[in-house]
Amino acid sequence: MSVLHTKSRVDLSAPPGAGRMKARHVWPKVPSGRTATLLALQYQMARTELQNPKERDRQKFQQLHALLSHAGTHLAFVKERLLRAGFSPNQPLTQTIWSSIPILTREEVRENAHRLTINNVPEGHGRSFEIRTSGSTGMPLTATGTGLVQLFWDALTLRESDRHQRDLGAPFHAIRRTDNSACLPDGAEYVGWGRAFEGLGASGKVHALDIESNIDGQLDWLIAKPPRYLLTYPTNLAALARRARQREIIFPTLEQLITVSETVTPQLRKEVRELWDVPVMDLYSAQEVGYIALQAPDGDHYHVPEDVIHVEILDEAGYPVVPGETGRVVVTHLHNYAMPLIRYDIGDYAELGERSTTGNTQMVLNKILGRSRGMLSFPDGSRHWPHLPYENFEKAAGIKQFQLVQHTVNELEFRCVLDGKLSVPNEDALRTILQDGLGFPFNICFSQVENISRSASGKFEDFISKV
């Protein structure tokens, strides 16, 4: 497996027979403990993704049955919902019963967190820990995970890195919300890529910089520390790419861009490819449930790791969509026995893709479209994802940063940051661009601000609906 992209050297400095030498194994690395467990999971995951979908579903529903039995035994809140759906621990779990279990909303999780938490998890699941979400959907919440949940997170982290054939001995750059040391102008440096990679013998450095650093400062930092792999948020990457084009900055060593936390647009993928000739590799996850889908190495689509999470893409009536259609993302982590979020609507929308009949046969998502509050509402009752012509905003008024907020079905507010003052002709030009791009003559007001803040986790939304 390409996970072990490491280099080692045997110490031959001592001559043969010089005193009593202690035998020391150097290479190849023989993993033990948690590392050995993670690599064993890698082996299983590599086989699972090639399985016949029917056989994988059979095994997955066995695990779901175990999860539901555990949750129904310990949580009255869940037991009531399962009984209404016709579930019995003594009977097999069918798709009909599963589909009858009520959808769990984010608001219900917030209001019933204590009723969804199990204090004593089975042996082998490890210690429980608290998970706090950033509230980027407008409703922050607190969830609970376990050591086993964390183990599967790390296994998928390794799986994703392995599939994209990254060299673990190389430097890794990250521009995101991070600790205080990375808030310094030069950021921070760490040895090793993190917990998931410990024990693999890798020694690559991580260079970290806080997301609040200004864009020119980020570019200067990257020039001083040439990147091979750069992880950041899509909105930050878009700003980096626009400014790099203006400054004519290229990064010859750059191989991959990895994005997290926000939605990646086709336009961003195109701009980055044209500017730096490198792909964007996106990770789709949520703090309370972990990884939901990982981008395929050979395209812009995503594969759902079905041995860790069960994903449903449902229409507004709660029925599964067909490939090519868009629906709500409803998820169930298969192994969280401390806080079983069963059929949990995370508030996102995605487009279902067609499964492959060869190679990786896991569930496919063509696109991650974003959160429900990122949809534009029209007076006729319809809702669509807004088309925002970013490149035209800068041409029309020198916009450095913007955020569009829908207050009513007719009223939009365009918040913007720019050098100088927004003039009436600028507003007229921007209004025309927005109305043409959105396909409707909305009433648009303009607010010039000094800064548009990110959330506590560093996420940024360029469109927010309050309707």
Helix H or strand E encompassing 446: strand 443-448
Q: Is the peptide bond before 340 cis (omega within 30 degrees of 0)?
A: no
Tell me the per-residue pLDDT of 169-188, one tens digit each, with 9 for 90 and over: 999 999 987 766 666 778 88
Q: Measure the CA–CA gap between 295 and 303, rounded to whole angstroms.
A: 6
User: Average pLDDT in the 387-413 region?
Assistant: 81
pLDDT band at 8 (very low <50, low <70, confident <90, very high): very low
Helices (H), 333-417: 390-397
pLDDT at 22: 55
Choose among 404, 385, 386, 455: nearest CA to 139. 455
- Helix/strand/coil for 207: strand
Q: DSSP secondary structure string, 7-59?
A: -------SPTTSS-PPP---SS----HHHHHHHHHHHHHHHHTTS-HHHHHHH
Domain ranges (residues) in the chain: 376-465
- pTM of the full predicted structure? 0.82
pLDDT band at 215 (very low <50, low <70, confident <90, very high): confident
Q: Is the pLDDT of residue 409 over 80?
A: yes
User: Average pLDDT in the 140-152 region?
Assistant: 91
CA 407 from centroid of its chain's CA atoms? 28
Tell me the per-residue pLDDT of 224-234, one tens digit each, with 9 for 90 and over: 999 999 999 98
What the block records as the tokens of 460 is: 């940024």
What the block records as the tokens of 284 is: 């789709």
Q: Is the pLDDT of residue 138 over 80?
A: no
What the block records as the tokens of 356 is: 């492959």
Give the up-direction half-sphere exposure of residue 21: CA atoms within 13 A in the CB hemisphere.
11
Topology of domain 376-465, per CATH? GMP Synthetase; Chain A, domain 3 (3.30.300)
Q: Measure the CA–CA gap between 38 and 63, rounded to whole angstroms.
A: 19
Query: What whole-number percentage of the chain has pLDDT above 70?
Result: 89
CB 153 within 8 A of CB 290: yes
pLDDT at 263: 87
pLDDT at 12: 37
Q: Measure the CA–CA gap between 279 and 255, rounded to whole angstroms.
A: 8
Q: Is the pLDDT of residue 2 over 70?
A: no
Tell me the per-residue pLDDT of 20-63, one tens digit each, with 9 for 90 and over: 545 677 777 788 899 999 999 999 999 999 999 999 999 999 99
User: Average pLDDT in the 402-414 region?
Assistant: 91
pLDDT band at 15 (very low <50, low <70, confident <90, very high): very low
Q: Measure the CA–CA gap between 390 and 416, rounded to whole angstroms.
A: 12
Longest dimension (CA), the chain: 88
> What is the length of the chain?
467
Q: Measure the CA–CA gap between 307 and 268, rounded to whole angstroms.
A: 31
pLDDT at 39: 93
Q: Is the pLDDT of residue 457 over 70?
A: no
The beta-carbon contacts of 53-58 under 8 Å, at least 24 apart in sequence, are 53/355, 53/361, 53/362, 56/306, 56/307, 56/361, 56/362
pLDDT at 391: 66
Tell me the per-residue pLDDT of 186-199, one tens digit each, with 9 for 90 and over: 888 988 898 999 88
pLDDT at 323: 97
